[in-house]
Each structure stands twice: as structure tokens, then as C-alpha cells.
């Protein structure tokens, strides 16, 4: 995807670290990420466009909106991700005018006033970084709960290792954070009222310029300035004081950490208070601003200095909660939700069965299509600019690949494994340059499940031989998927019976093809929870249904909804089904 990260800041903030860290991971995954902000200090991949969001006069805001619209159109931006109040307001307007999906990560407590309640300006989805922010957005600003989803800070956990405790002559207490706004006020009060500057070697790490009030401490406190090498700086501290990302990174290094922020003091972080710390972003967010009992801080400092390392359980909890890869997985999921819900458009996954050459081959059940009509279908797909994907393609990359900018993707699936798939379908796919996924039944030579239907028996039709299935797989344009041994209605079988049908079919095909299978199709589209769990447990990464499952492809990889193609699906009928919004119009 093409993603625009928007921030408003005059110095390095946690929001910038978040945006660039997440943005770099997205870039690694193949996305194209752009940035716009007043300043940008952290190393980042992708173009940066300077925009002074902090200039908030009415004329300036119109200029911001106009410039954002220019960036969205020039760079084919598919989604805007804002990270601050000033930027989100302008982005919200620009996205409304251009129809661009938008999300906003909310990093801190929001101001409450009448206009803010009426105009949240957070786009389609707001991502508070902790539960306390989510609660405030609901209670104070009236943001609907369904518009909110907690999304943690993403940390490059492999950069941080538990370190050997330092051997300092005097205990080193390191305070990390801005020296402006509420953080600056907090730091000043810690230095002025709480810390014994003669007893401790106090170091303040900040990119902020020192204002006059800190001059009084310069003889007893070391103001080190900003550093890119956070682990090295943390390694020399006996105790770290900070909130948000500061506390997270400190705890990953195993340092005793006093979590105190703009709202509250958590105290020394332990296994007993770690969940409360996470929920408040380590003291930065609470019911009110700066609700701290400063008289207790001195004792907490001594308590922290009495520890050589933080609780190992805390470090493991932090790594599990803030792992960058997992956080970005979640963000990609949100991006897909917002993009597809906003545009009401999804990659079509269409379902064929068998192909005929003349009227005598027609069936009773309507699971056939004349091969000449199939060729017309492929010609239409070509004219509309479609390219085909298989599940193997998506497993190799990511399901979000289907939203690649400048591309129009479709997935062709074909059930059962009829012999005509080899004789009739394969040559046309090669001719027009399309791929397909063919789901093969391995325990039958013909369509016994339909022929022996007592209520509505079907004509007998041959299935592919093993050599034909292998030839399809070796063509380079066909993915072979599992479809059970005998094509039963899985939801009528016991767990063990389902397992034998699914695993037996998978093993037979994998032995034939010499490689693992990626996807599975439920016969008749019928399944239950056992079916889905078995498909996952035996190693399938995807499973397709028919007319059940979410409208969004990514929301349930084991119940992917498909669009059926029938004998009367002519060129116009196919066009209706593949425009992208068919399911959204059909399923209300």
C-alpha cells in the first residue's frame, strides 16, 4: 500500500519514534511509506515533506488541507495514518474531500471541549496506544467504541537485550523525556523536590532545549541531549525514570524502572503492576492530568536502586505485548479493515467447477460453464486490467498484497478436479496469462457425491488422473489445493471422520506433488468449527467456503467467501460480480 504518515511536532516525540519504527517495518514488508510533519529527526525510509501543522491559523489550516490533497493525489496515497491532534484535523478534512481511508493513532490524553466532542477528526478508525486513552475517548469525547481499537507501540525487540548491571561509584538515575509541556513540568518537580542530587548521579536525556528554570540544576545534573543509541545509554543506568516508550525500552534492557508520566506514577514496575502500567502507557494517561503523590517518589527511587535487575517476568511481558512484528501485523489488519470498509471494494474470489464443449455435457446441478464462455470471461478480465493471484502467492508475501497500488487482482478457483480442467481450462489460462487454484478430490475417479444423490442425481463426469493433476501443478500457473478424499458434507461428520478426510487428501496430494499444500476448499462449502480447526491444525494457511464468511478477505483465513459462477453467468454477469463491490451490495 501507499501510506502517508502525518505528525505535528517541533522536537522528537514518542509519536515520531512510533511512526518511523512502524513505517520502516511497513517499508520492509513492501509498502511505500511517506511522511509529512513540522520536523522529522529519527532515521526513516521514505520521502519526507515538511508541513508546519503547528501553525494553526485558519488560512494555514486551509493550506495544510490543500497540500495534503496534493500529496494524496500525486503519490496515489491509499491510506493516511495521522499521529497528532493538529495533523489529524487537516488529514480528516483532506481525506473526506478525496475519499481516502484514514486512521489516527492517539498517543496521549485528548483535550476536552465542545468542538472536539462534535468533530473528533480521527478518520475512520482511532488507535489508542493503551486502554486508558480508549476509556477517555469514549467517556469524555463520546467517540463510539466501534471506532476504537487499542494498538500498542511497536518496539524493535531484537535491539534490546537484558544487560549486566553497571558498577557505578554513585547510583546513576537517568530521566528520559521532553523538557517541554507536562513532561518538562514533571522533570522539574522530580529534580526540585524528589531526587537527592548530591547522593545520586542524575542524568537527563532529552532533545529539548533547556529553558531558564533548569539552569539551577546544571551544576549537579548532567543534561546529555538526544541520543540515537538508546540501549547504550540505558546500560549505564542503575534506575531509569520515564513513561511510555522510555519505560518499555528500559524494561526490555532489564533495568529497574520507575514508571511516571503526565498523569500518574505507577512506581517501580513489577509483575504485580505491569498490566496497570501497560493500560496507562506507563503513567502517561489517567483519569486526570498529573495526579501524582510526589512525597512517595523518594522511597520508590530507593526501592528501585535496591534492585539490580527488573523482574524477568516483566521483561517477557513487555516483549510479548510490544513486539514490532506482531504490532505491525495488527496495524496491517486495521489498514485492510478501513480500506475495504471505506471503499466498499474487495478482491473478488470466483468459483468455477467444470467446463463443457457442447450441450450434451450439461449437468443437472448447474456447476458447469461452456468453455467458449470461459474464454470470454478471460478476455473480459484482460480488458479490465485484472491480474490473478493464488494462495501460494499470498502465503509468500502477505494477504495485504492484494491491495497493491496500481494493480487490480482477482483469484480464480476451480473445485473438484474434473478432467476438463486439464484438457480445456489449462490451455486457455496459458493463452491469456492467468493463474488458478484447483481443489482436487483424491479418492474418487468421478463425481460420485453428485451421481449417487438420491434426490437429484447428476451425470457422471470423470475427474483428473494423478498424472494430469501433476501436470497442472508443474505448469507454473496452477496451485493445487485440498478438497477431501470423497467430497462429503463435512458438517455431518464426526471430528475424527473429518480429520481423516482432510489429512488423508492432503497427504496424498503432497506425496504426488512433492511439496506442501497451502489452501483447502470445504466440499459444498459446508463446514463447522471442527472443519476450520482441522484445516489449520494440519497445516493449511487458508480455507475457502462458498457463500459464507466475512466480506473482507483477510478477516478469517479459514472461511474465505467466494462468488459462484454458473451456466448463465455471461460476460455482463461476470462484470457485475468482479467489479469489487458485488458482495457488499448482495449481502446487506
pLDDT per residue over 188-240, tens digit each? 999 999 999 999 999 999 888 888 999 999 999 999 887 778 888 888 999 99
Non-local (6+) Cβ contacts of 305 within 8 A are 171, 173, 238, 239, 256
The CA distances from residue 129 to 18, 257, 319, in Å, are 10, 20, 16
Same domain, yes or no, for 415 and 452? yes
pTM: 0.89
Question: How far is Cα 419 from Cα 174, in angstroms, rounded to an integer?
Answer: 72
Domain check: are 459 and 499 in the same one?
yes
Same domain, 366 and 315: no
Q: Are 77 and 71 in contact (CB under 8 A)?
A: yes
Closest CA to 479 of 583, 390, 369: 390
Domain span including residue 179: 157-319
User: What is the total count of domains within the chain?
Assistant: 3
Short-list 222, 195, 250, 6, CA closest to 107: 6
Does some domain include residue 330? no
User: Do 495 and 565 fall within a single domain?
Assistant: yes
Considering the domain architecture, whether residues 97 and 181 belong to the same structural domain is answered as no
In contact, 169 and 339? CB cutoff 8 Å: no
CA distance 410 to 351: 11
Q: CA 242 to CA 452: how far, in whole Å?
A: 72
- Residue 542 placed within a domain: yes
In this structure, is residue 175 part of a structural domain?
yes
> Are 135 and 188 in a shared domain?
no
SS3 456: coil
Which of 147, 171, 193 is where one domain is finished? 147
CA 200 – CA 237 distance, rounded (Å): 11
Inter-residue contact 5 to 24 (CB < 8 Å): no
CB neighbourhood size of 343 (10 A): 16
Residues in the chain where the model's pLDDT stays below 70 = 115-117, 287-290, 588
The answer to whether residue 332 is domain-embedded is no
What is the total residue count of the chain?
Answer: 588
pLDDT value for 120: 78
Could you give the CA distance from residue 255 to residue 251 in angstroms, rounded to a whole number?
5
What integer best gives the mean pLDDT of the chain? 94
- As a whole number of angstroms, the distance between CA 491 and CA 399 comes to 27
Q: Is residue 210 part of a domain?
A: yes
| Rounded CA separation 110/121 (Å) | 12
End-to-end CA distance of the chain: 28
Strand partners, 478: 436
567 and 419 both lie in a single domain? yes
Last residue of a domain, one of 147, 179, 206: 147
Does 336 fall in a domain? Answer: no
- Would you give the distance in Å from CA 416 to the centre of its chain? 33
Inside any domain, residue 152: no
Domain harbouring 142, CATH code? 3.40.50.2000
| Residues 268, 189 share a domain | yes
**414 three-state secondary structure:** strand
Domain ends where: 112, 147, 182? 147
- The reply to whether 469 and 577 lie within a common domain is yes
pLDDT tens for each residue of 61-80: 999 999 999 999 999 999 99
Could you tell me if 164 and 141 are in contact, meaning their C-beta atoms sit under 8 angstroms apart?
Answer: no
Residues 515 and 406 in one domain: yes
Nearest to 540 by CA among 353, 394, 422, 344: 394
CATH of the domain at 522: 3.20.20.370
Residue 36 DSSP code? E
pLDDT at 588: 62
Residues 131 and 167 grouped into a single domain? no
Do 476 and 568 share a structural domain?
A: yes
Amino acid at each position: 500500500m501507499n501510506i502517508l504518515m502525518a505528525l505535528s511536532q517541533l522536537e522528537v516525540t514518542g509519536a515520531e519514534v512510533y511512526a518511523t519504527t512502524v513505517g520502516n517495518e511497513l517499508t520492509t514488508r513492501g509498502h511505500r511509506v511517506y511522511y509529512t510533519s513540522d520536523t522529522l529527526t529519527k532515521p526513516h525510509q521514505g520521502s519526507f515533506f515538511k508541513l508546519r501543522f503547528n501553525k494553526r491559523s485558519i488560512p494555514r489550516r486551509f493550506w495544510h488541507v490543500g497540500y495534503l490533497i496534493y500529496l494524496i493525489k500525486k503519490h496515489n496515497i491509499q491510506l493516511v495514518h495521522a499521529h497528532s491532534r493538529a495533523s489529524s484535523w487537516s488529514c480528516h478534512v483532506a481525506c473526506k474531500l478525496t475519499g481516502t481511508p484514514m486512521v489516527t493513532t492517539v498517543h496521549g490524553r485528548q483535550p476536552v471541549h465542545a468542538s472536539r466532542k462534535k468533530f473528533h477528526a480521527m478518520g475512520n478508525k482511532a488507535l489508542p496506544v493503551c486502554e486508558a486513552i480508549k476509556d477517555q475517548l469514549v467517556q469524555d469525547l463520546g467517540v463510539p467504541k466501534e471506532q476504537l481499537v487499542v494498538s500498542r507501540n511497536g518496539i524493535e525487540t531484537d535491539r534490546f537485550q537484558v544487560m549486566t548491571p553497571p558498577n557505578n561509584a554513585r547510583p546513576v538515575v537517568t530521566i528520559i523525556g521532553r523538557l517541554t509541556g507536562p513532561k518538562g513540568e514533571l522533570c522539574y518537580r522530580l529534580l526540585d523536590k524528589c531526587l537527592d542530587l548530591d547522593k545520586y548521579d542524575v542524568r537527563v536525556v532529552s532533545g529539548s532545549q533547556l529553558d531558564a528554570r533548569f539552569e539551577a540544576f546544571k551544576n549537579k545534573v548532567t543534561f546529555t541531549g538526544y541520543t540515537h543509541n538508546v540501549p547504550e545509554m540505558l546500560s549505564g543506568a542503575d534506575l531509569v525514570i520515564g513513561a511510555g516508550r522510555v519505560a518499555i525500552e528500559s524494561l526490555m534492557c532489564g533495568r529497574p524502572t520507575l514508571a511516571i508520566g503526565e498523569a500518574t506514577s505507577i512506581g517501580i514496575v513489577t509483575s504485580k503492576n505491569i498490566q496497570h502500567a501497560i493500560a496507562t502507557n506507563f503513567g502517561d494517561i489517567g483519569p486526570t492530568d498529573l495526579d501524582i503523590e510526589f512525597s512517595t517518589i523518594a522511597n520508590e527511587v530507593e526501592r528501585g536502586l535496591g534492585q539490580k535487575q527488573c523482574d524477568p517476568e516483566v521483561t517477557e511481558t513487555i516483549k510479548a505485548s510490544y513486539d514490532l512484528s506482531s504490532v505491525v501485523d495488527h496495524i496491517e489488519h486495521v489498514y485492510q479493515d478501513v480500506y475495504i470498509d471505506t471503499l466498499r471494494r474487495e478482491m473478488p474470489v470466483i468459483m468455477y467447477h467444470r467446463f463443457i464443449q457442447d450441450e450434451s455435457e450439461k449437468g443437472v446441478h448447474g456447476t458447469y460453464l461452456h468453455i467458449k464462455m470461459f474464454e470470454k470471461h478471460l478476455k473480459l478480465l484482460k480488458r479490465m486490467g485484472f491480474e490473478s493471484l493464488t494462495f501460494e502467492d499470498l502465503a509468500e508475501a502477505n494477504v495485504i498484497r492484494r491491495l497493491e497500488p496500481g494493480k487490480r487482482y482477482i483469484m480464480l478457483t476451480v473445485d473438484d478436479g474434473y478432467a476438463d480442467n486439464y484438457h480445456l481450462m489449462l490451455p486457455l489460462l496459458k493463452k491469456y496469462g492467468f493463474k488458478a487454484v484447483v481443489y482436487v478430490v483424491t479418492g474418487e475417479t468421478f463425481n460420485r457425491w453428485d451421481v449417487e444423490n438420491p434426490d437429484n442425481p447428476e451425470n457422471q463426469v470423470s475427474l483428473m488422473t494423478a498424472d494430469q493433476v501433476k501436470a497442472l501443478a508443474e505448469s507454473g500457473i496452477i496451485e493445487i489445493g485440498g478438497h477431501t478424499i470423497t467430497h462429503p458434507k463435512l458438517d455431518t461428520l464426526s471430528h475424527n471422520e473429518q480429520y481423516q478426510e482432510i489429512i488423508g487428501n492432503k497427504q496424498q496430494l503432497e506425496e504426488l506433488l512433492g511439496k506442501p499444500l497451502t489452501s483447502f476448499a470445504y466440499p459444498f462449502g459446508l463446514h463447522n468449527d471442527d472443519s476450520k480447526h482441522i484445516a489449520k491444525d494440519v497445516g493449511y494457511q487458508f480455507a475457502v467456503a462458498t457463500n459464507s464468511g466475512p466480506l473482507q478477505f483477510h478477516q478469517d483465513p479459514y472461511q474465505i467467501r467466494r462468488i459462484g459462477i454458473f451456466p448463465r453467468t455471461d460476460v455482463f454477469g461476470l462484470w457485475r460480480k468482479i467489479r469489487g463491490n458485488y458482495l457488499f451490495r448482495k449481502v446487506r
